[in-house]
Amino acid sequence: MNRSIIARTRTRPRALAAAAVAGLALLPTACAAGSQAAPDGSAAPAADATALTAEDPWAKAVDDGMTAVFGTLTNTSDHDVRLVAAATDAAESAELHVFADDGGTPVMQEADDGLLIPADEDLTLEPGGPHLMLLGVTEPLEPGEDVVVVVAAEDGSELEITAPVRSFDGANESYEPGDDEAGESMNDSAHSGDEHSPDMDPGEESSGDESSGREEDR
């Protein structure tokens, strides 16, 4: 199978992201036609997505199932930017995800209101926090490859993010697309504390629990 599709395709993710926000874009456009046209000579407002930069993006290596894209999104403009959709060729679907507290249990769920990046501020995409979720990975994602994800702002503008794939033992989400619940709770401590650092050595997360177990056996 040709693996280049992971990083190669640009048209389809953009089309998918655009379609996801079409319903939001059509109504304001129809209402604003004619009477609210910009005066002659006035500059059109900058597209939201063009005000964003993606710093140190990365994706977790997986063989199948789901994975996530992390990094830092910086809003360089003087107005808030809200992301409302995502798309990729590397998976069957992509969603904007957040974590919520459900009676003391962290629960992963789709961000119904999108992801807001305030003016002149950053939004960190990280395990245990907001992230771009890829559901139904179409083929194994191996370290050294790239994953291309397109995110769309509520004005329909788009930002393409190229995320290198890395090995990472954390971010073990449990989530079923289309589940009746808002989201599924995480595997034990999969998204807590210092386990989220992408610089952590593979296997370091489990060392503490294994050591504790040996002490109890004594």
Asked if residues 80 and 185 have their Cβ atoms less than 8 Å apart, the reply is no
129 vs 5: which has the higher pLDDT: 129
**What's the pLDDT score for residue 199?**
45
Residue 3: both structure tokens together: 């693996």
Each residue of 58-107: pLDDT tens digit?
A: 999 999 999 999 999 999 999 999 999 999 999 999 999 998 888 888 88
Q: Give the count of domains, the chain.
A: 1
**In this predicted structure, what is the pLDDT of residue 32?**
40
Question: Residue 208's domain spans which residues?
Answer: 5-35+44-217
Answer yes or no: are the C-beta atoms of 50 and 157 closer than 8 Å: yes
Query: What residue has token string 């969603």?
Result: 95
Burial of 172 (0-12, 13-18, 19+ CB in 10 A): middle
**CA proximity to 94, closest of 2, 46, 143, 163:** 163
- DSSP code at position 126: -
Give the span between the Cα atoms of 90 and 67, in whole angstroms: 10
Report residue 93 as tokens.
């679907």
* Residue in 164, 74, 156 with CA at minimum distance from that of residue 121: 74
Q: Averaged over 119-147, what is the pLDDT?
A: 97
Q: Which CATH number do you get for residue 160?
A: 2.60.40.1890
pTM of the model: 0.64
* Residue 42 to residue 37: CA distance in whole angstroms: 10
Determine the straight-line distance between the first and last CA of the chain, rounded to whole angstroms.
51
Per-residue pLDDT, averaged over 137-159, amounts to: 97
Among all chains, which residue has been given the structure tokens 């997505």? Answer: 49
Q: Share the mean pLDDT of the chain.
A: 73
Rounded-to-integer distance, Cα 158 and Cα 15, Å: 10
For the segment 211-218, the average pLDDT, to the nearest whole number, is 45
Spacing of C-alpha 27 from chain mean position:
26
